[in-house]
Amino acid sequence: MSKPVVLIAEELSPATLEALGPDFEIRNVDGADRSALLPALAGTSAVLIRSATKMDAEAIAAAPGLKVIARAGVGLDNVDIKAATNAGVMVVNAPTSNVISAAELAIAQLMALSRHIPDANASLKAGQWKRSQFTGVELYEKTIGIIGLGRIGTLVAQRLAGFGVSLIGYDPYVTQARAEQIGVELVDMDQMMKRADYITIHIPKTPETTGMISTDQFAIAKPNLRIVNCSRGGIIDEAALYAALKSGRIAGAGLDVFVNEPPKDSPLLELSNILVTPHLGASTDEAQEKAGISVARSVRLALAGDLVPDAVNVAGGVIDPSVKPGIALAEKLGQIVAGLSHTSIVAVEFEARGEIAAHDVTVLKLAALKGLFQAMVTEQVSYVNAPLLAEQRGVEVRLTQDSVSDEYRNVTTLKAVLSDGSVVSAGGTVIGPKHHQKVVSINGYDVELSMAENMVVMIYQDRPGIVAVYGKAFAEAGINIAAMTIARQQKGGKALSVITVDTEVSSEILESLRVEIQADVMQAISLTEGY
């Protein structure tokens, strides 16, 4: 069996290749060379990129077997996430790989602005000795404003605390209690601009944040304000910043990011009171290595069929250890429900009961949807596009959680409402240190049977002799019964038999059995593993 192909489209650290391991065929291409990239994508399962390779709709279409795009870094401007999602391709990045590097660069910018380090360096190397020209200011006892108190903003706050400064912060998504934990006073934007001697920005670029610091904000700022942006270009209105620096409305600025990169012909580059760097936030050996190792691990998870915590187009996040064993079970429950569905599905409900209900079980719902649709549609189904497939088909999806589970520690159940109003369902549990998967209910009948690759589900009028009928039929066909369970809800009513067999059962045998025992349901279900 051939190994999955992983395409390395840009230079990555040796540690990245080590983290991928020996399980893949590694190919290389210059991702910036479009004419080389597109044909190289054919037959690939994963592609690893940095910033130079554009994985747009055309590139994604050139790789019909692609399962994951891995960006060894944070930004995803060069990936068409919508096209990837529609194609069922997981997109992953390394969101925490550069946080320390970015935080340290912001502080370096603050320090360099305060002490005129780049200009003093250039002056001395030019043979000049102009000490008085480069008199700076201290950070000590200054008020420093941090816009964005996420991972990087928090690291900046922690590091600046040692300088004896007063920290104020603006972040509408952070509580006062959280801000107090990191020693920051929460303020609104107007207070930020009026009070800060320094401002450092650590927020994503969105329609709401684009140009959020512009002429009106600079108009109320202190004349000694020095502002640093090491996050995303465009959060500061560049025209307004130029005017504020040129006129002396503020004292200085440090930019690592720009609206257009590189910022060719930008008037900002002509000013003496601005410090610029070429987007170096993640440009450290440590950050590059962390990013490569992180996405390599994500690729391994994705190609193994697991959910990836760093996937940007999959709901969920870090999976609690008590939830993770239920992922494979949930996917198989989806396959069982698909096999039992005799007409189209209009709504599904995924229910988690027991101790796992205290955790985020979104991942289990996604797994169940993936299992449900993979036998029902022709396109590749993944954790990424399964919710989209449900939406496109008008299938309402609900998730319910209940801490009460009467018989088992944890039980997950998938129910589907069909277009004729009937309901089909399957429930299961995972038990023991080896995470043994068991089916515990089908269509409302209580059963207990180990999950197996080949199953046959029958519902018929309960009466003597039925087991002998299908036992004889399977024996004559050379099909070995591995296990079986029979359940009924009342004496003399309908009975359900679930049988696991060593080989698949042909449709001819099933139809013959259905007629002979006058079964309402006679369905073979084959379960598959993985992506």
User: What's the confidence (pLDDT) of residue 379?
Assistant: 65
Task: Examine the residue annotation and report whether 508 is marked as an active-site residue of this protein.
Answer: no
* 71, β-bridge pairs: 49
Name the active-site residue from 50, 202, 226, 232: 232
Q: Are 435 and 325 in contact (CB under 8 A)?
A: yes
* HSE-CB of 408 using CA atoms within 13 angstroms: 22
User: What's the confidence (pLDDT) of residue 151?
Assistant: 83
Q: Using alpha carbons, select from 389, 399, 396 the residue that is nearest to residue 362.
A: 399
* HSE-CB of 500 using CA atoms within 13 angstroms: 14
Rounded distance between C-alpha atoms, residue 382 and residue 93, angstroms = 18
Name the active-site residue from 279, 297, 300, 353: 279
Q: Are 292 and 15 in contact (CB under 8 A)?
A: yes
Name the active-site residue from 180, 208, 261, 396: 261
Angle CA 295–299–303, to nearest 5: 170
Instruction: Burial-class residue 321 by CB neighbours within 10 Å (0-12, 13-18, 19+).
Output: exposed
Task: Examine the residue annotation and report whether 279 is marked as an active-site residue of this protein.
Answer: yes
Rounded distance between C-alpha atoms, residue 108 and residue 102, angstroms = 10
3-state SS of 390-423? HHHCCCEEEEEEECCCCCCCEEEEEEEEECCCCE
Rounded distance between C-alpha atoms, residue 115 and residue 123, angstroms = 13
Task: Examine the residue annotation and report whether 71 is marked as an active-site residue of this protein.
Answer: no
| Amino acid letter, 104 | E
Ranges of beta strands (E only) in 271-409 are: 274-276, 345-354, 396-402
User: What's the confidence (pLDDT) of residue 95?
Assistant: 77
Domains in the chain with CATH codes:
5-96+286-303 (3.40.50.720), 99-276 (3.40.50.720), 315-438 (3.30.1330.90), 452-531 (3.30.70.260)
Q: Which helix (H) or strand (E) holds 525?
A: strand 521-526
Q: Are 349 and 415 in contact (CB under 8 A)?
A: yes
pLDDT tens track, the chain, 531 positions: 689 999 999 998 889 989 998 999 999 999 999 999 999 999 999 999 988 999 999 999 999 999 999 999 887 889 998 899 888 888 998 878 888 999 999 999 999 999 999 999 999 999 999 999 999 999 999 999 999 988 899 999 999 999 999 999 998 877 788 889 899 999 999 999 999 999 999 988 878 889 999 999 999 999 999 999 999 999 999 999 999 999 999 999 999 999 999 998 999 999 999 999 999 998 898 998 999 999 999 999 888 866 777 787 775 555 677 888 898 899 999 999 999 998 889 999 999 999 999 988 988 999 999 999 887 776 667 777 788 888 878 899 999 999 999 889 999 999 999 988 999 999 999 998 888 999 999 999 999 999 999 999 999 999 999 999 999 999 999 999 999 999 998 888 999 999 999 999 999 999 999 999 999 999 999 998 653
User: What's the confidence (pLDDT) of residue 318?
Assistant: 59
